[in-house]
Chains A and B, each alone.
Chain A
Amino acid sequence: MFVFSLRRIASSIPTLLLFAAITFFTLRLAPGGPFDGERALPPEIQANLDARYGLDKPVIHQFGKWLGDAVRGDLHESFQYIGRPVNEIISESLPTSLLLGALSMLLAVALGIPLGCVAAWKRGTWLDTSAMFLAVSGVSLPSYLVASILVLVFSIWLGWLPPALWESPSSMILPVVTLGLRPMAIIARLTRASMIEALSADYIRTAYGKGLRGLQVVFKHALKNSLIPVITIMGPLAANLVTGSFLVEVVFQIPGMGKHFVTAVINRDYPLVMGVNLVYGFILISANLAVDLVYAWADPRTRRDS
């Protein structure tokens, strides 16, 4: 198990490196530069700027320098926010995004698993049908529609919750629901499916035979065995939260890292793009790694080559 973990961790380092390299070079292939404005800059000024930021050197050299500095924890200065280190921008905005993502995931798990269990337990009844309609709607609604409906109903018509910003706990409700709805729906469906399978197993019949009550069997015996597929899906869900947070942060004007994700590319703010994506890549790799490790722990057959 220990060797397996080490091997998985080691093998994800080249992935992250390759990811950084591809992003770096594709960005340079793209037409346009960071200092393009309405009018072209005089050549001397352009040359000075390029020299100041090291853009006059060959791209491979630039990548080497960026990588060397990144390993030491220096992500350079942003082009767009002049004089501000990318480290500072990230450390200011990342906690907000992480909180948003974590709360959404928490909501998704806290509602999705019980919803799936109840649906499986009461299979075929109106409870099952309505729980699953809710879940299917959750996967069928694009987040921008969810956001617009929520804002229209709860902020504009009812006036209960603020339509934007990230200040009081009440302002967090709408963005978290918007972001958490889809993973909640996916978790609920998956839990139901694997729960139905678990409930038909022999050991469940045994549990009933021992005279245990329905709910106890569902939550104590069947749930434990049906959580593996749910755990596996957590990696992709974390990825969805990452891309989803961009839209939610823009729509609700939340000062998170998501907004840099797109604007930095459009502005050709190379250091910021690299910094932000390095952090995202790291989060995603860690999430996948965690999922693999939990999976290997739960199901020893998947520990191949060890």
Chain B
Amino acid sequence: MNPRAWKQLVKNRVAAVSLVFLVIITLMAAFAPVVTKYSYEEQNISEKLEGPSTRHWLGTDTLGRDLYSRIVYGARMSLAVGIMTAIIALFLGTLTGAIAGYAGGWVDNLLMRLVDLFYIFPSLLMAILLMILMGRGFAGILLAIGLTAWVTQARLVRGQVMQTKALPFVESARATGVGHIAIVVRHILPNIWGPVIVSLTFQIPTNIMSESFLSFIGLGLQPPYSSWGTLASEGFRAMRSYPHLIVFPGLVLFITMLAFNYLGDGLRDALDPKSGSGSL
């Protein structure tokens, strides 16, 4: 990132605070064993369903597991899913979108029909089918979310490439005899990476949310593994009597989503001041 954009990002207080928060929560997730006293699966029936206390900062769940530890370990799963699926989407989407947008004609038509196919394929159905085929594991979730998310990226990149390739500097590059691949990689892509990075920042929270949604309806990770979605799902069932079980995971999820969204807004202003493109 160039210094000017970086300065503008840091000047935006909300975005800067969001960035700091996300760095902290990522570090906590990475060093989970260091920052927690209990393991995420350690059960203690004699201490079940306690409210927040000095022993258990955020209380305990139905099996007496420490909720704070479970949230920190849950962050590992949620963030990992969010980031890895965004990378899958970035790779597939940029490749497809760039080829379709640059080539145009029947190539574009064919690739866009493929995108349409994934587009109309309801993500929920795709997730269930993949889970049935691959088992309810980490790989199934990654594929299920990644295969839905890349479509948005492909459409964005295609649109950007189509706009950019009509600009005079691309035409002059072509006139001087630069090859097609070089034009796309060296001239077009560097000019559109702003919107792409911004959309990636929005993609991560969307994917974290998709994972939490799948886990919430019981199609996500299986116990004892936890993500924020599985925690919220467990909390939802005990909501009326033990609200802390849904309030804390829900709050952490909500604040993280807010941070990603505000950071994305800040990045957009910093990297791509002209852009009017929104986010999903």
Binding site for B on A (CB under 8 A): 11-12, 14-16, 18-19, 22-23, 26-27, 29-32, 136-137, 139-145, 148, 152, 156, 186, 189-190, 193-194, 196-197, 226, 229, 233, 236, 239, 242-243, 246-247, 250, 261-262, 265-266, 277, 280-281, 284-285, 288, 304-305
Q: How far is the CA of A243 from the CA of B11 in the complex (A)?
A: 38
Give which listed residue, A18, A136, A265, A285, contacts B261 with CB less than 8 A: A136
Q: Which residues of A contact B133 (CB under 8 A)?
A: 26, 29-30
Contact of B122 among A15, A139, A239 (CB under 8 A): A239
Picked from B125, B129, B232, B275, the residue with its CB within 8 Å of the CB of A142 is B232
Q: Which residues of A contact B253 (CB under 8 A)?
A: 142, 145
Inter-chain pairs besides A142-B216, A242-B122, A284-B120, 6 sampled, C-beta below 8 Å: A16-B120, A23-B125, A137-B258, A139-B205, A140-B260, A247-B217
Q: How far is the CB of B163 from chain A (nearest CB, A)?
A: 10
Check A31 against B117 for contact (C-beta < 8 Å).
no
Given A27-B129, A136-B261, A186-B278, do A19 and B254 touch, yes or no (CB 8 Å)?
no
Known interface pairs A14-B113, A261-B125, A262-B217. Does A288 touch B132 (Cβ–Cβ under 8 Å)? no
B8 within 8 A of A: no
Most A CB atoms within 10 A — which of B132, B133, B217?
A: B132
The yes or no answer to B80 lying at the interface (CB within 8 A) is: no
Contact sample, A vs B, 5 pairs, CB 8 Å cutoff: A14-B113, A142-B229, A144-B236, A239-B119, A246-B124
Contact A277 B240 (CB under 8 A): no
- With A30-B132, A145-B232 in contact, do A139 and B277 touch (Cβ < 8 Å)? no
CB distance from A101 to the nearest CB of B (A): 13
> B278 near A233 (CB under 8 angstroms)?
yes
The 3 A-B residue pairs whose C-beta atoms are closest, nearest first, are A140-B257, A190-B278, A30-B132
Query: Is B123 interfacial (CB 8 A cutoff)?
Result: yes
CA distance A190 to B265 in the complex (A): 12
Pick the contact of A15 from B104, B105, B117, B217 — CB < 8 Å? B117
Please indicate the chain A residues that have their CB under 8 angstroms from the CB of B124 in the complex.
243, 246, 261-262
In the assembled complex, the Cα of A23 lies from the Cα of B280 at a distance in Å of 26
B residues in contact (CB < 8 Å) with A: 104-105, 109, 113, 116-117, 119-125, 128-129, 132-133, 152, 205, 209, 212-213, 216-217, 229, 232-233, 236, 239-240, 243, 246, 250, 253-254, 257-258, 260-262, 265, 274-280
A32 to B129, CA, bound (A): 12
* B217 partner residues in chain A, CB cutoff 8 A: 246-247, 250, 262
Q: Smallest CB-CB separation from A233: which chain B residue?
A: B278
Complex Cα spacing A22 to B121, Å: 10
Most central of B122, B265, B280 by chain A CB within 10 Å:
B122
User: Within the complex, which residue of A23, A148, A262 is in contact with B239, where a contact is CB–CB below 8 Å?
Assistant: A148
**Cα A152 to Cα B247 with chains together (Å):** 12
Complex CA distance for A197 and B273, rounded to whole angstroms: 10
Question: Is B232 within 8 A of A144, CB to CB?
Answer: yes
Complex Cα–Cα for A285 and B128 (A): 21
Q: Evaluate contact between B128 and A262: CB separation under 8 angstroms.
A: yes
A31 CA to B132 CA, complexed, in Å: 8
CB pair B122–A243 under 8 Å, yes or no, is yes
**Cβ of A126 to closest chain B Cβ, rounded Å:** 14
Residues of chain B with a CB closer than 8 A to A152's CB: 239, 243
**Bound Cα distance from A229 to B122, whole angstroms:** 23
Q: Select which of A18, A148, A229, A304 is within 8 A of B246 by beta carbon.
A: A148
Cβ of B254 to closest chain A Cβ, rounded Å: 6
Pair B276/A194 contact, Cβ less than 8 Å: yes
- B240, A139: Cβ atoms under 8 Å? no
The one of B152, B239, B274 in contact with A236, judged by C-beta atoms closer than 8 angstroms, is B152
Given A29-B133, A31-B132, A288-B116: A142 and B213 interface contact (C-beta under 8 Å)? yes
B132 touching A261, Cβ below 8 Å: no
> Quick check: A193 and B120 within 8 Å, CB to CB?
no
Establish whether residues B117 and A145, one from each chain, have CB atoms under 8 Å apart when the complex forms.
no
B257 touches A265 (CB 8 A): no
Query: Would A142 and B119 count as touching, CB distance under 8 A?
Result: no
| Least CB separation from A190: chain B residue | B278
> Is A304 within 8 A of B104, CB to CB?
yes
Give the complex CA separation of A148 and B245 in angstroms. Answer: 12
Of the candidates A16, A142, A262, which one forms a contact with B209 in the assembled complex, judged by CB atoms under 8 Å apart? A142
A189 near B125: Cβ-Cβ < 8 Å: no
Residue of A144, A236, A262, A284 with highest tally of chain B CB at under 10 A: A144
- Known interface pairs A136-B262, A194-B276; A15-B128 also in contact (CB < 8 Å): no
Complex Cα–Cα for A229 and B125 (A) = 28
Judge whether A197 and B276 touch: CB under 8 Å.
yes
Q: How far is the CA of A141 from the CA of B257 in the complex (A)?
A: 8
Cross-chain contact B277 with A265 (CB below 8 angstroms) = no
Do B209 and A265 have beta carbons less than 8 Å apart?
no
Contacts of B113 in A (CB 8 A): 11, 14-15
